[in-house]
Structure 1
Amino acid sequence: MTSHLARRLGISIVALTIVILLAIVAPRLLAHSKRPQYLTAQVERGTLEDAVLATGTLHAFKQVDVGAQVSGQLKSLKIELGDKVTSGQWLAEIDPVISQNALRQAQANAQKLLAQKRSITAQLKQAELAYQRQQLMLPDDATSRQDFEAAQSALDVQRANLASLDAQIRSARIEIDTAQANLGYTRIVAPMNGEVVSIVTQEGQTVIAQQQAPVILKLADLDTMTVKAQVSEADVIRVRAGQTAYFTILGEPDKRYYGKVRAIEPAPQNFLDTQTNLGGSGGGSKPNSAVFYHALFEVPNPDHRLRISMTTQVNILLDTARDALNIPVAALGAKDDKGTHTVRVLGADGALETRKVRLGINNNVKVQVLTGLKEGEHVVIGDVDIEDHPSSDKDS
């Protein structure tokens, strides 16, 4: 009986103890559950870049249009699309028959003039002898002055004829040189080392080179590529020659190709069209279109993975910070007159603290922290309203 009472007394004491503990702990748990909840981000170290973003296209650093300087039928092509050629290599031939005939005609004309020169030379010698005889006879009145003057005039005429023929012969030699050059132009050779990137004229087509040189094919040196990045008028004032730039292509979005900005074109990419519109009947109003300027830089392309007209995503670096403390831009509060920003920091015990931080590079996603925070701390980037985010049990 006594042991039974003792057991009941012990159970009562344990139950009372549990009730007391619940009375003490429950308010605290309830208060803790009502604490504000925050979205936070950790203060980290990393590389930050302040860059001008642009879209660009790839071009060969050196590219030439190989054309024809003489008219005629394209007799043969010695190369195919994609072939690599060296400077001076024979690329194509235009039918040389017309140029050969022109050369033969020029040579025949020159030979004719040379024959005439020999005839005039003989006549000149005869006129010189006749004049000399008249000179000897005139002092002795063995001839009339009229005969003397006639001999002198005949000599002058033959000398003038010889001078005229000499000029015609020089002209004929120029025609020979021109005909030889035109004949040489029927054999089209590579002006530089490169790759055949386009064949414009096919075998059998007739080319007319009277007003402008028709393009036969296009050669490009693909060992170096030029990037033409379209920089907006808002950003171009921050870009200058010598800045580091890199780009990615659609086929390799994780691979960066680096270069240095060589130049920024002074006129926008649509400058000629704009001038045409301004000079037309439309008046002097500016066309309602975006204005972009080309920033140019080169990258090596030894394996020819980069190709003409590829689209590139370009970053022109204005500033870079390596191993820099950084936080999301969303964590920034108001900026004061000293240039510092307020940031809310959540401590390990859940306490919220407001600090002043001084910033460095800001790329609109993350911002460099110069002073005010330490690596590993957590900054508040937003508040969570528990009532607006019910538990999964309630949703179900």
Structure 2
Amino acid sequence: MKQWRRLSRPARWLAVGGGLALVALACALIVQTASSSAPESQRLETIGSGDIEKVVLATGTLKPAVQVNVGAQVNGQLRRLYVRQGDRVKKGQLLAEIDPTLQESELNNARAQLASARAQKRSAEATLWRYRRELERQKAMMRDGAGVRSDYEQAQADYDAQVQQIAVNDAQIVQAEMTVKTAVANLGYTRILAPIDGEVLGIVTREGQTIVSSQMAPTILVLADLDTMQVQTRISEADVQKIRPGQPLWFYAIANPEKRYTSQMGFVQPAPQEMLEEQNMGGRSGGQQPTAVYYNGTFAVANDQRELKTAMTAQVFIRIAEAKGVLRVPVAALGQALDAERYYVTLFDQGRTETRIVRVGINDRRYAEVLEGLQEGDRVVLPQETTQE
């Protein structure tokens, strides 16, 4: 203090002025440091244009568009297989042959019964001719007054009965002919022919095995047309009203996520598969209500390269809306929602932040379409990423 009093008045003012200048310089440095470090301490993204595609995700299972379990309609031993697994076959091609001994015997027996029925009819026709002659003779005698009434009535009855016998013989012949046709068909069933063009997916019955088809047709092999695959998707109840036939989609198989396939939605089942199965069981669901409801949606995709295999799992993306070349904002930048379309967004401009209300359209969970409130080149603040130590 004594030293301060020893200073002259001009020296005092010079010292005070220097101190104030130092304080002002320090404040300026603090403000400049704060304003220049603000962009570095926050995550920013510049608003620009691009495409937005809104999709519904679903999981699907691949299977051939056409698949047939080729079975046997007759009993017998599988004598020979003419194809192997993986072979391509044409419709009508011989696939397998069942020992025809039983069916040949049935056919011979049916033909013998038919011959017997026809012989019986010929015999009945000969008897009918004799009864007709006798009836005509009795009628002539009755006209001449030389006949006996009882003999005439007997002749008439014999003739009428024989006419009915001919009708019985005709019915027996028809029945025997049908038996022959059935036996011929059963003999033909011993030769298993391909019902479609396709590939042999698997052999179920081997050569030498005995086939019994009394209750259901046993499967010998499985054929499928692998040129076209069908994808059956499970669509959530929350999304099913957004899906309709004809919508474009793309998917990848879990086995190869890098390969993308495109198609369009085909048929959307109007009832859950679980409910249909419950109806098939007579409504016996055990009183349990399913926790989630899914609807089946199916579509087809070409499989010329045979890359898609049966029972593969597919991740399906169904496009329900799109916007091309539109202004878009990161979904992460959207703050508090005012309604379904309007949100608060924080902007950074010239070292300052401001809050603005924007109106958005569709979004793809990463970007949202900007309808109002932002311009290209605006910088929006994104929330800070949190790291777990």
Q: TM-score range by the shorter chain?
A: 0.7 to 0.9
The C-alpha deviation readout for 1:235-257, integer Å capped at 9, x for no partner, is 11221222112111123323321
Out of 284, 306, 326, which is 1:304 matched to?
306
List aligned pairs for 1:36-185, cutoff 5 A.
36=38, 37-185=41-189
* Unaligned segments of structure 1, at least 5 residues: 1-19, 389-396
Aligned to 1:345: 347
Aligned to 1:368: 369
Aligned to 2:323: 321
> Secondary structure of the equivalent of 1:345?
strand
CA distance in 2, matches of 1:22, 1:253: 64
CA distance in 2, matches of 1:290, 1:169: 62
> Secondary structure of the equivalent of 2:261?
strand
Structure-2 change in CA distance of 1:322 and 1:69 (3 Å): same
Out of 240, 243, 247, which is 2:244 matched to?
240
Aligned to 2:359: 358
Structure-2 change in CA distance of 1:94 and 1:130 (3 Å): same
Structure-2 change in CA distance of 1:278 and 1:374 (3 Å): farther
Structure-2 change in CA distance of 1:340 and 1:279 (3 Å): closer
The C-alpha deviation readout for 1:289-309, integer Å capped at 9, x for no partner, is 322111111112222211211
The C-alpha deviation readout for 1:118-170, integer Å capped at 9, x for no partner, is 22222222222222222222223333222222222222232222221111111
> Secondary structure of the equivalent of 2:355?
strand
Deviation at 1:342, TM superposition (A): 2.6
CA distance in 2, matches of 1:62, 1:176: 34
Counterpart AA for 2:305: D
Q: Between 133-142 and 220-229, report the one with greater CA deviation.
A: 133-142
Under a length normalisation based on structure 2, what TM-score does the superposition of the two structures give?
0.85
Matched, 1:330 2:335: no
CA distance in 1, matches of 2:378, 2:339: 26
CA distance in 2, matches of 1:379, 1:87: 65
* Unaligned segments of structure 2, at least 5 residues: 1-19
Deviation at 1:329, TM superposition (A): 1.3
Structure-2 change in CA distance of 1:167 and 1:261 (3 Å): same
CA distance in 1, matches of 2:104, 2:370: 79
Matched, 1:31 2:31: yes
Matched, 1:227 2:231: yes
Number of corresponding residues: 366
Matched, 1:211 2:219: no
Deviation at 1:55, TM superposition (A): 0.7
> Secondary structure of the equivalent of 2:164?
helix
8 A contact 1:38–1:384 mirrored in 2? no
Structure-2 change in CA distance of 1:79 and 1:33 (3 Å): same
8 A contact 2:341–2:361 mirrored in 1? no
8 A contact 1:357–1:372 mirrored in 2? yes
Aligned to 1:13: none
Deviation at 1:43, TM superposition (A): 2.2
Q: Between 237-246 and 351-360, report the one with greater CA deviation.
A: 351-360
Deviation at 1:312, TM superposition (A): 0.5
Deviation at 1:191, TM superposition (A): 1.4
8 A contact 1:89–1:189 mirrored in 2? yes
Q: Between 20-29 and 76-85, report the one with greater CA deviation.
A: 20-29
8 A contact 1:278–1:286 mirrored in 2? no
> Secondary structure of the equivalent of 1:46?
strand
Deviation at 1:376, TM superposition (A): 4.1
8 A contact 1:243–1:260 mirrored in 2? yes
C-alpha RMSD of matched pairs (Å):
2.8
